[in-house]
Amino acid sequence: MQRILSFTLWLSILSWLSACTEDTIAPITLGTLQGVVVADETPLPNINITTQPATNQLVTDSTGRFSMMGIPADTYTITVRGEGIRTTTLTALVTPDSVTEVTIQAELTELENRVPNAPTLVSPQNAVTNAPRTLTLTWQGSDPDQDSLHYEVRLFTSQAALRQSVVAQEITDTTLVVQDLKFNTTYFWQVIATDPDGLSSQSEVGSFTTLPIPNLRIAWVSDTSGNAEVYASDGSDTTIVQVTNQPARDVQPQLHPRLPQVAFTSEVQGETQLFITPLIDGTPTPITQVPMAGFHNIGTGYTWSPDGGQLAYAHYEELYRINADGSGLTVITQAPANRHFREMDWTATGNQFVLQTVGSRIYDSEIYLYSPQEDSLRLLVANQPGQTHSPSFSIDGREVMFTYDASGFESLEGRQLDSRIYRVPTSASPDSIQWIDVSVNKPAGTNDLRPRYSPDGAKIIFENTSNDGQGTPSVWVMDVNGNNRQLLYQNAQMPHWR
């Protein structure tokens, strides 16, 4: 008796301990739904079985039975359709780790309608690879009674995604365009044909795999979607990805030196802040709280560090440095009196900055070299009549490229008439004449703007636009000597190349 009492006490303790454990997240539980379809106690073969929520569509076997194994525990509405019977529904509860058995009593009719033929998947070919992210699905369908058919199309990446797989319903076309597919993903698809009496049949399940994740090396801004957003490409005109999609204008993209990320600026509650986002399927993360601001600085004044771990940006007369995760905000240096920092670049050669400083007038612009080690600013390009902008380093850090309006034109509107791209050695002095004009083949009446060297240093990417403000900007590429100008992207501006 004492042993029995001790054992009972031990079980009670175990039960109490189990009740005291922390709650855990319940796993997805599965069960089995099976049954038979009969009419006047006679099993009915070849009867279509569908459920809501959706599971696999089945057809009863020669004994009238069906079985759905491993479906999520839930309450299902079962619908049976077939030749010679009225469409019938039944509700069944599938519980975890158990088998739910149902018997569905169907009512015979004198209808002679026949089930549609199973649709045939035509395109893309089954198991094809390198499918584009925008794809046209094509299939064929027919009915033995010549009935008109409508189709449901399912597209899913796994069995777990089957419930969310319906991408089209009640359509009569035998083609469907699907867009914004993910890179490097295998998709499965299926078409279900239904006639006017509700009889349906399903195609086999096809598959295709989309293009591998591209090396997106060029970024720019376009308003083709109705708002200024960041786009990126591998350099071709076929693989173009819209990176951002926000209510505010997303501008001034700069690609991370090593990672598949891009920084950009956007206005938040009236202030310009820095953001970083993955190039593909990412969510933008705000980096700054102290905004980018200053004379004529609408999101233009920032740059990545050479290793991509930090960013530098302009806040009035101060040059800030901040870690890429938004921490460690530090003042690097200050601009000369009555001037603000604007555009800039940062080179690993000597850990130097090239910095544009600007006064209250957009035409009052100078370019400096800054060495953090010496904490010294050295004037490289002195103030000139007209506008000077967009300084950036060559790959080896020995040259600086910038734009200057060779017409020297100045107006209240800040218009430029002949903005050209120039190169100058970093060893040059402000009063030396060592500027190399690389816009020698620029069309008259246009401005070349925002130049950047290509990653190999052999080419220059830049923006070209009409000088009257009426044209559509476009992104071009040319040799460093100005030859072989080639159009890359229409309706595009603010290019960056990694």
The DSSP result for 306-329, as a single string, is: TTSSEEEEEETTEEEEEETTS---
Distance CA 386, CA 408 (A): 4
Inter-residue contact 392 to 345 (CB < 8 Å): yes
Residue 83, pLDDT score: 80
Per-residue pLDDT band at 9 (split at 50, 70, 90): very low
CA angle 236–238–240, rounded 5-degree value: 85
Largest CA distance in the chain: 109
Interstrand relation of 206-210 and 128-131 (parallel, antiparallel or unpaired): parallel
pLDDT band of residue 56 (cuts 50, 70, 90) is confident
Cross-strand bridge partners of residue 100: 33
Query: Quick count: other Cβ atoms within 10 Å of Cβ 402?
Result: 24
Going by C-alpha positions, the residue among 207, 205, 229, 209 that lies closest to residue 219 is: 229
The model's confidence at residue 17, banded by pLDDT at 50, 70 and 90, is very low
What integer pLDDT is reported at residue 225 of this predicted model? Answer: 86
Ranges of beta strands (E only) in 436-490 are 436-437, 446-453, 459-466, 474-479, 486-489
d(CA 306, CA 345): 9
Does residue 18 surpass a pLDDT of 80?
Answer: no
At 111, list the tokens: 């209808």
Q: Across 269-397, where does the E strand assignment appear?
A: 271-278, 285-286, 302-304, 310-315, 318-323, 330-334, 340-347, 352-358, 365-371, 376-381, 388-393
- Specify whether the CB–CB gap between 474 and 492 falls below 8 A: yes
Helix (H) or strand (E) holding 11: helix 2-20
Kindly state the average pLDDT of the residues 235-250: 91
The confidence score (pLDDT) of residue 26 equals: 54
First-to-final CA distance of the chain: 82
pLDDT grade for 27, boundaries at 50, 70 and 90: low
Please say whether the dihedral angle defined by the alpha carbons of residues 140, 142, 147 and 153, taken in this order, is positive or negative.
negative
Q: Which residue has the tokens 């102290």?
A: 290
Confidence of residue 110 (pLDDT cuts 50, 70, 90): low
Mean of pLDDT values over 338-345? 97
pLDDT of residue 85: 86
Q: Which pLDDT belongs to residue 483?
A: 97
Mean pLDDT confidence for 281-289:
94
Identify the DSSP state of 397.
S
Give Cα 254 to chain centroid, integer Å.
16
What is the DSSP secondary structure assignment for residue 4, as one 8-state letter?
H
The sign of the dihedral angle between the CA atoms of 278, 283, 289, 294 is positive
Domains in the chain, CATH or no CATH each: 30-105 (2.60.40.10), 120-210 (2.60.40.10), 218-497 (2.120.10.30)
Return the pLDDT at 108: 84
pLDDT at 266: 96
pLDDT mean across residues, the chain: 91
Mark 190-203 as b/e (b = at least 16 C-beta within 10 Å): bbbbbbebebbbbb
Q: Give residue 11's pLDDT.
A: 38
Q: Which two tokens stand for residue 118?
A: 């199973």
At residue 111, the pLDDT reads 56
Instruction: Judge contact between 292 and 268, C-beta under 8 A.
Output: no
d(CA 353, CA 155) in angstroms, rounded, equals 51
> pTM here?
0.73
Look up residue 272 and give its two tokens. 């310009």
Q: What is the pLDDT of residues 390-405, one digit of tens each?
A: 999 999 999 999 999 9
Res. 4: pLDDT tops 80: no
- How many Å apart are CA 417 and CA 140, to the nearest integer? 59
Q: How many Å separate Cα 234 from the centre of its chain?
A: 14
If we measure between CA atoms, which residue out of 102, 91, 98 comes closest to residue 53? 91
